Amino acid sequence: MKRSRRWTIIPILLVAAACSGVALGLLHVGGIALSPEKIFHKLVIPVLRLLCYLGIGLLVGQVLEALGWMSALAKWVRPLTRWAHLKDDSAAALATGFVSGILANTMLMNAFLEKRLTRGEVTIAYLLNTSLPTFLVHLPTTFFIVASLAGSAGMMYLAMVFTAACLRGAGLLVYGRSVLTAPLSSTEMAQPEGLTKPSTRFTAFLKKFQSRFIRVILYTMPIYVLIFLLNEWGLFQWLRQGSAGWISKQFFPVEAAGVIIFALAAEFSSGMAAAGALLAAGALTAKQTALALILGTIIAAPIRAIRHQLPTQVGLFNLAMGTELLLLSQGLRILSLLAIAIPYAIWG
């Protein structure tokens, strides 16, 4: 019994820390002042919305698995993943990643918990999902903002981000082929173990969903609250201003500082609008503007990831695994962007 409850220690500590932070905010202690209205609109509603998305992702993932539809998803990318020595569970998650990152990560974690995938396979598959699939998922939203506000510089920025995503994906496929053992056969995924009675199968389904979703709630909710409190204390604003000032002074004319600072802001379109304004005014060339946006992305993306993605990743995986995967994905993204931006800066 003690061993089965050991995993609850960290969530209990996180919940206690989150509740203490909110209480101090309500009492105007510690440099922040929280009102019940602010907590409701900026904390309670976003947390409930996030938990709904995660719950739907968990539910859909288990339904697809229970119905044996994973193989149908895997066939779309099976030739690619087989070449990289990835199993069909990874292939199904990769195909799903072009639609929903939450659902793809849910499928990976389910396969890991049921020992169909190793930790290394989950890591490679997760990083693959954060390359081209993530770029394409966000492309419909970002394309029109970038094209309309930043013009030619924005299109060059998108081209470099796309090339970096392809570079990450190709590198991960090669890495998977070099370190993973090829699957024993190319047959389709094994179907879930059959349970004789539909009522027994449904009970097992609900028990599994309840267990996973409770863990998601106990990790996601307090971490989201703690990151919200850190933002209220000004930590992320301090990081943005400090990093933006250093970068702009070292590598760009003074005019580019505005582009980088706006690109670091929470509103993505503000960075593009600033870039378009400086480009139209002739303060920066298209090349300088595109590079400024890339550097702004390099600085801003990890901060945004901690603020917006860390609670989700920790909830779907666990504290150690979710944090590790998030850091790896951001590190690879930065390296791939630098690998594209530096040659462009020198020879472009």
257 has a pLDDT exceeding 70? no
Q: What share of the chain is helix, strand, coil (3-state, %, to 5)?
A: 80, 0, 20
Q: Which of 24-38, 108-122, 150-164, 257-271 has the lowest mean pLDDT?
A: 257-271
Q: What is the mean pLDDT of residues 73-96?
A: 89
Rg (CA), the chain: 22
Res 84: pLDDT: 93
Q: What is the pLDDT of residues 330-342, one digit of tens each?
A: 999 999 999 999 9
Instruction: Give the C-alpha separation, 348 to 346, whole Å.
Output: 6
- CB contact at 8 A, 307 and 231: yes
| Banded model confidence at residue 242, pLDDT cuts 50, 70, 90 | low
Task: Please give the sequence-ordered ranges of beta strands (E in DSSP) within 99-252, or none if there are none.
Answer: none
| Banded model confidence at residue 32, pLDDT cuts 50, 70, 90 | confident
Q: Select the more confidently predicted residue: 16 or 267.
A: 16
292 has a pLDDT exceeding 90? no
Closest Cα partner for 61 from 25, 27, 102? 102
- Helix (H, G, I), strand (E, B), or coil: what is residue 270? helix
Identify the top-confidence range among 25-34, 71-80, 253-262.
71-80
Instruction: Give the C-alpha separation, 314 to 191, whole Å.
Output: 28
Give residue 312's identity as a one-letter amino acid code: T
| Banded model confidence at residue 265, pLDDT cuts 50, 70, 90 | low
Q: Select the more confidently predicted residue: 73 or 112.
A: 112
Q: What is the pLDDT of residues 171-223, one digit of tens each?
A: 999 999 999 988 765 544 444 554 455 666 677 777 878 878 888 888 888 88
247 has a pLDDT exceeding 80? no
Res 335: pLDDT: 96
**Tokens 């938990």 label which residue?**
51
Q: Select the more confidently predicted residue: 227 or 6.
A: 227
Q: Select the more confidently predicted residue: 262 or 151.
A: 151
Q: What percent of the chain has pLDDT over 90?
A: 24
Token code pair at residue 262: 């706006």
- Helix (H, G, I), strand (E, B), or coil: what is residue 184? coil
DSSP per-residue string spanning 236-270: HHHHHHHHHHHHHHHHS-THHHHHHHHHHSS-HHH
